Amino acid sequence: MKSKYKIITAMLIFGSIGIFIKGIHLSSSEIALLRGVIGSVFLILASLFAKQKLSFQSIKKNLVLLIFSGAAIGFNWILLFEAYRYTTISNATLSYYFAPVFVMILAQFVLKEKLTPVKTGCILAAMAGLFLVVNIGGSSAGTSYNHPLGILYGFLAAALYSSVILMNKFIKNLSGFETTLIQLLVSALVLLPYVLIRDHFDFSGVDSKSIVLILIVGIVHTGIAYFMYFGSVKELSGQTIAVLSYIDPISAVLMAAIFLGESMSIIQIIGGILILGSTFVSEKMDVKMKAKKEGVI
């Protein structure tokens, strides 16, 4: 039960990140870089405190995949933060949650997994949902947005994140904690030259509010949330984790409505249900198939 509460807390923290990102007066690439730096430093300190040793031999064997997946995570954050900038948190979150659909499509080529009729139906339902979510009219309290562009950024972030999910399937003999720590370090190292060239790393105009918010995003939304998540997954079934993961997008939509006054039309809500429902059905099927292979059911 304690592990369930940890994952629920981690999901609620992940769901609130958009609210904090919107208040930081830095470019998306600068926020992503600082998130990677602060998050990885926190996880290094946490691993030392918990006396959790890293398997450097396994890290070396998986280094190529860790570098590519870490870089993908960094640029995935940039695209997601741009989505928050150009559209509502609800639209950005729902378009970002299209990642499992990309995994379903790509898995038949990368992992040689068969695309079943049910999964095909899930993909079509999610696409219909995304079509309904793309709404140029809705915006929150006096704020003008470019919804199509923001949703496109969320869609591209989902595509990058799906590549991370697939690459992680080929990483062997590393715990989720170890994998995440190295990926965060790599994301920071890869984003550093990108930020130096593109944004010149100028923090002279940053106010105290932005500093506090970026520390919260780095420590709470990255370090603490990841530490809680990976400290609990071993003790829970895949099905439980799949169900609880939906607290993230649902809480993001609810918190955006409560704290930012964002609203969604009935059509958009139906679209959101189609996207989340289709990915839920697909993930439930994956868990059942894995359990059958392992002889659990």
User: CA-CA distance, 157 to 79, in Å (whole number)?
Assistant: 5
User: CA-CA distance, 151 to 74, in Å (whole number)?
Assistant: 19
- Indicate the pLDDT class of residue 140, thresholds 50, 70 and 90: very low
Residues 6+ apart with CB under 8 A from 169: 111
For residue 118, give both structure tokens.
């049910």
Contact indicator for 122, 279 with CB cutoff of 8 Å: yes
The pLDDT tens digits of the residues spanning 193-247 come to 999 988 777 777 688 999 999 999 999 999 999 999 987 877 777 667 777 888 8
Q: What is the mean pLDDT of residues 259-265?
A: 85
Total number of domains constituting the chain: 1
Contact indicator for 26, 206 with CB cutoff of 8 Å: yes
- Indicate the pLDDT class of residue 123, thresholds 50, 70 and 90: confident
The pLDDT tens digits of the residues spanning 37-65 come to 999 999 999 888 878 888 999 999 999 99
User: CA-CA distance, 68 to 187, in Å (whole number)?
Assistant: 9
Q: What is the mean pLDDT of residues 111-129?
A: 83
SS3 per residue for 209-265: HHHHHHHHHHHHHHHHHHHHHHCCHHHCCHHHHHHHCCHHHHHHHHHHHHHHCCCCC
Q: Structural domain of residue 140, as residue ranges?
A: 2-293
Q: What is the mean pLDDT of residues 107-134?
A: 83
The segment with the largest mean pLDDT, out of 27-36, 96-105, 143-152, 283-292, is 27-36
Mean of all residue pLDDT scores within the chain: 86
The pLDDT tens digits of the residues spanning 83-118 come to 999 999 999 998 998 888 888 888 888 878 777 888
